[in-house]
Structure formats: structure tokens, C-alpha cells
Structure 1
Amino acid sequence: MGEPPKPRVSSASSSTGSFSPSPSPPLPPATHPVTLVHPSQKKKKNKTKVLRVFRSVFRSFPIITPVCKIPVLPGGGLPDPHRGSRVTGTLFGYRKGRVSLSIQESPRCLPSLVVELAIQTMALQKELSAGMVRIALETEKRPDKEKTRIMDEPLWTMYCNGKKAGYGVKRDATDEDLNVMELLRAVSMGAGVLPGNSEVDGPDSEMAYMRAYFERVVGSKDSETFYMLSPEGNNGPELSIFFVRV
């Protein structure tokens, strides 16, 4: 048996600016044993004071209306990266398919969240090339949801840069999702393509991916935000993903 196919990293990988694939002959996919581990269950040390600060700040944020209610930071700045928790985020999808978002504690952990977004891979590539992408996933606030974590919501209305795109759907990680995360186990930041089965699915079987560190900021029980972190000194696009109950 030969070694499993490795993900190819495009020339844009150092900037995490896009997940545009560079052409190459695809290889047959293989399902490999999953060696990803469960996220740590250790309790965070006392961060109550920090969370109170974020709650008070987020409550004061203006809301973009009428199309999309995304919290906006005064002056357009990002939060202090030392005040949130850093996670690994991966956007991946077939060239003519919808993009999925996977959140992991680290590249070696099983996904803690997988959401199928209401945008196609090629469309997201186009938005990223413009320099700034803000994705808002909104769900309705109701009394029966008081004890439901926002990340446990099954369905969100999705907006991309203020325009309604459809619905984001939370799902359990599929075998294909886990295979992708396994192939990217050694990748902390980068962009490129994974080989597909061209004999079965045709020339569009290659899967594009973009992986980066994200800063996770909890505003309240009804607001969580993920800010993509670019390498220092890099002028790549800004990507923010908002989960909100409105």
C-alpha cells in the first residue's frame, strides 16, 4: 500500500487569502482510519470577568439594518486576540458545490461544529477576492430556546456581506467530513485542493479548502463570533462569521 494522498497547498496558502485550486491531475480518494481525538473536556479557568466585559461591549454594538443584524465593532477594529479563545476553522467544498464550515479545537481534534453554508465554493472565492467577507447566521430568539446554546441551533438564516443567501444547516460530521479533516491533520493554516475521484464524479471532483486560526468571542448566550486570524504582516482578506439570535 502506498502512502495516502497529501493535500496540495496552493501559492495562496501562506496568506490564507483564498482557496482557489491550482490545476493538477486528481487522484482516487481513499478513506483512512480516523486518528482525530475528542476535544479536551477541561474546564476553562475563571473567565467570568472577561466574559462580563464582552457581554457589556456586545450589548452596546449597533445593529446593521434592515437586511442583516451583524454586530459591528466601533471603528471597524477586531477584538484583542488575547481575550478570546483560538480555534481552527476550515472552509471546504467541491468547486460547484456548497461550502461547509468545520470548527475544531485544534487540527488534531474531531470537529465540534460542522455547518453547511448557503453559498457555493466558487461564489465564496469571488467574495474573498474582494477583500472582506462577513457571514451572519441568524436564528429567531424564542422563550423555549432559553436553555439552548446558540451553537446547538439546527438552522440559521444566512447573510453574506449583508445579502440574504439562504439557510445554514448544522449537521453531524459525515465520513467525508472526517476524511477531509484527517487529510488536513498536519495543516494548521493554508489553502489548496484535495484530490477527488474524477472517474466517478468528473473533473469537478476536486475539493477546495481554506484553513486558518479563528478567534472565538462569546458576546452573550445569543451571540458568538469567529474572526479569521491572518499571519502577522499579511494583508489578506478579512473573514468574520457571526452566530446571533435576534
Structure 2
Amino acid sequence: MAASTALAAAMPPHFSPSRGASEAGVPKKSTISLVAPSARHRRRPARVIRVFRSICRTLPIFTPKCKIPSVACSAFASPLAGTDSGRRHRDLVTGTLFGCRKGRVSFSIQEDPRCLPSLFVEFSLQTHVLLREMSTGMLRIALECGKNGGKAASSSSRTLLEEPMWALFCNGKRSGYGVRREATVEDLGVMETLRAVSMGAGVMPAKAEGEEDIAYVRAAFDHVIASKDTEILYMLSPEDGSGPDLTIFFIRL
């Protein structure tokens, strides 16, 4: 997968953030009962904690003389475990992919279905294309952005999910862009309608003639922060394994 080098340029003229589900018949004046996410989903770790982590990483690692057999614990090893797993931060979040059948896909991350989105990204990927790729049983979405070259100093304090735009790849194919934006009233109306849904896929019927249905996929995601430039969302499938294998990567190169 090639790194995106053109993200510093202006967004292509044919792609501009849409109003999300504005054509979906969600009442603009609907009552929104979603609550704000907790502080841990809204701000970065305190500076003292970040400095402490940096100091810990500079300490030498001593190898003990007595070796513990690794075979005994290999059966319990997590697929996410690695040599640097102690540095990874993991969290469980709710992710939702949705969009009008003839429109573009939007992706939201919530602390849980009752909270306001902590991240909202609009893809230039069409909804029917996403559903077609997902029907294969495996879906890999990669969102890549650059470090802005000379602007690195000004963006050094920006977290990966605070980047404004990413190059979008769907199953290895370049599929346009992903743009971070604020959720509209219509988007929040969709989240409110799905408030009681923790996992599932389906179609929200249009509420008026001439409006479009909204297809959605919602699931719990294991959010892994591997480093300041890599974050991964693994979709947790049902126990019977009937769900698709979906992973979303956020990468800064």
C-alpha cells in the first residue's frame, strides 16, 4: 500500500463533505438524548504521564538468566500481543458505518451507543461499494495521512485521529479520501435511532416519499493504539463467527 503524499494539497473538487444522512428522512428537530463521552475519550494523557512513559522507554532491558518456557503460555497468547504489547493502549468502542444506498459512507466512533460520537469521518466511498466488498467476508479499510513535511512542528501535538483528512484504501484499492468533520443534526438523528442497537446490520427505511433508505453496520471494536502514528480498530464478530472480518487502520507516514 503506497503512502499518501498528496494529502497536503487541496481536496479534489468533486469531493466535498456531504450532510451525511440529510436525505434519509431523519427529523431535523428530533430530540437527541445522547450524552457526552467521558474525558478519557476526549483528551490526551496528561503531560506528566507522557513524560513518564518516555523515560520508561529509555531504560535498559535486562534479560534474566533463568528462562521461562514459552510453550506453556503460547495457547493463551493474544493475536494482538507482540514485543511491544506493553506499550499498546486498548479500548472497547462502538463503531458504526452507515450511508444512503446511493450516497457516501460515514463512520463514527462512540464510547458506547448512548454517547455522542468522539470521531466522525466521511468517506468518499459509495455505500453500495462498501456493501459489495463486505459481502466477500473480509474488509480492510486503511486511512493514511502524511506528516506534512515542514509543518511537522505545528502538527506535533495533533493526535492521529485529529488529522483533518486521510487517503482511503478499501481492500488495497485506492478509494478516494476520508474527511474528519463534525456530526450534523441528521447524523445525530441516525445515532439516536440506533441508540438501542449495540451490534447488527440492517436498513433504516425512508420516512417520506422520495427519500432514501439508510444501510448501517454497527459493532463493538477493539481500539488499539499501537503508536502515535498507528491506530487499529478490530471489529468483534458475534460468538458464532457469522460476522465479516472487518479491520480499520489509521496510519500516519
- Displacement of 1:78 in angstroms is 4.3
Q: Please say which of residues 230-239 and 130-139 is displaced more in the overlay.
A: 230-239
1:110-189 equivalence runs, <5 A: 110-142=116-148, 143-144=152-153, 145-189=155-199
Residue 27 of structure 2 corresponds to which residue in structure 1? Answer: 30
- State the one-letter code of the partner of 2:134: L
Q: Which has the higher contact order (CA 8 A, sep 6+)?
A: 1
CA contact (8 A) 2:200 2:218 kept: yes
- Displacement of 1:138 in angstroms is 0.5
- Displacement of 1:231 in angstroms is 1.3
Mark the runs of 5 or more structure 2 residues left unpaired by the alignment. 1-23, 58-77, 82-87
CA contact (8 A) 1:107 1:185 kept: yes
Q: Please say which of residues 191-200 and 120-129 is displaced more in the overlay.
A: 191-200
* 1:101 paired residue among 107, 111, 117: 107
Distance in 2 between residues matched to 1:120 and 1:186, nearest whole Å: 26
Over residues 85-135 of structure 1, what are the superposed CA-to-partner deviations in whole Å (9 max), with x where a residue is unaligned? Answer: 100000000001111000000000000001011211111111011111111
SS of alignment partner, residue 123 of structure 1: helix
CA contact (8 A) 1:29 1:195 kept: no
Over residues 31-63 of structure 1, what are the superposed CA-to-partner deviations in whole Å (9 max), with x where a residue is unaligned? Answer: 42110000011598xx98xx99xx9xxxxxxxx
* 2:206 paired residue among 192, 196, 214: 196
Alignment identity in percent?
52
CA contact (8 A) 1:138 1:158 kept: yes
Residue 212 of structure 1 corresponds to which residue in structure 2? Answer: 219
Q: Please say which of residues 207-216 and 192-201 is displaced more in the overlay.
A: 192-201
Q: Is 1:91 paired with 2:97?
A: yes
- State the one-letter code of the partner of 1:79: L
Distance in 1 between residues matched to 2:171 and 2:206, nearest whole Å: 30
For residues 110 and 28 of structure 1, do their structure 2 counterparts lie closer, same or farther at Cα, with a shift above 3 Å needed?
Answer: closer
CA contact (8 A) 2:222 2:236 kept: yes
SS of alignment partner, residue 187 of structure 2: helix
CA contact (8 A) 2:101 2:213 kept: yes
SS of alignment partner, residue 84 of structure 1: strand
SS of alignment partner, residue 39 of structure 2: coil
- State the one-letter code of the partner of 2:147: K
- State the one-letter code of the partner of 2:138: M
Q: TM-score, normalised by structure 1?
A: 0.71
CA contact (8 A) 2:27 2:186 kept: no
- State the one-letter code of the partner of 2:27: A
Distance in 1 between residues matched to 2:40 and 2:34, nearest whole Å: 18
For residues 177 and 78 of structure 1, do their structure 2 counterparts lie closer, same or farther at Cα, with a shift above 3 Å needed?
Answer: farther
- State the one-letter code of the partner of 2:117: P
Distance in 2 between residues matched to 1:156 and 1:148, nearest whole Å: 14
CA contact (8 A) 1:88 1:214 kept: yes
> Aligned residues, how many?
192
- Displacement of 1:237 in angstroms is 1.6
Q: TM-score, normalised by structure 2?
A: 0.69
Mark the runs of 5 or more structure 1 residues left unpaired by the alignment. 1-26, 56-76
CA contact (8 A) 2:113 2:197 kept: yes
- State the one-letter code of the partner of 1:84: R
TM superposition outliers: structure 1 runs of 4+ over 6 Å: none
Distance in 2 between residues matched to 1:153 and 1:98, nearest whole Å: 20
Distance in 1 between residues matched to 2:202 and 2:171, nearest whole Å: 24
- State the one-letter code of the partner of 1:112: S
